Amino acid sequence: MKNYAEVKQTLCEMLEELGGRLAKITDDVRHTDQPVEKDFAEQATQTENDQVLDYLGNAARAEVAQIKQAITRIDKGEYGLCEACGGPIREERLKALPYASLCIQCAGKIPR
């Protein structure tokens, strides 16, 4: 088993950064800094903005889940192995996407 202490540290830093981003998104969607506009047209614009923020929040939450799973794989000694085929995930892929759980071949087989 390789020592992935650096990778784990990077993943933890990513979690911290995403946590801050999610907190800001949540505050914006809840309008904690600004009340909802009284003008109907402005409310419509705010609603559109809230929908975009909600999408970004969901994407960030999904990334958080993937990062937490990668940390768990490190702790179990399973990091760097493809969850689908069991083969190794190339180092280049892990550098680009440290929470990758699939090798490039298996990731390419997932329907989008």
Tens-place pLDDT, residues 36-84? 667 777 777 777 888 888 899 999 999 999 999 999 999 999 999 999 9
Same domain membership, residue 62 and residue 47: yes
Q: Give the DSSP per-residue string, the chain.
A: ----HHHHHHHHHHHHHHHHHHHHHHHHHHTSSSPPPSSHHHHHHHHHHHHHHHHHHHHHHHHHHHHHHHHHHHHHT-TTB-TTT-PBPPHHHHHH-TT--S-HHHHHTS--
pTM of the model: 0.79
Verify that 62 and 94 share a domain, yes or no.
Answer: no
Quick check: 1 pLDDT over 60?
Answer: no
Same-domain pairing of 73 and 88: no
Stretch 22-43: mean pLDDT, rounded? 76
The pLDDT value recorded for residue 11 is 97
Domain that residue 27 falls in:
5-79
Whether residue 88 has pLDDT greater than 90: yes
* Euclidean distance between CA atoms 39 and 54, whole angstroms: 22
**75 and 86 housed in the same domain:** no
Helix axes 5-30, 40-76, angle to 10 degrees: 160
The whole-number pLDDT of residue 29 equals: 79
Residues 70 and 33 placed together within one structural domain of the fold: yes
Same domain, 111 and 86: yes
One domain, residues 74 and 108: no
In this prediction, residue 112 carries a pLDDT of 59
Same-domain pairing of 28 and 73: yes
pLDDT of residue 45: 78
Give the total number of structural domains in the chain.
2
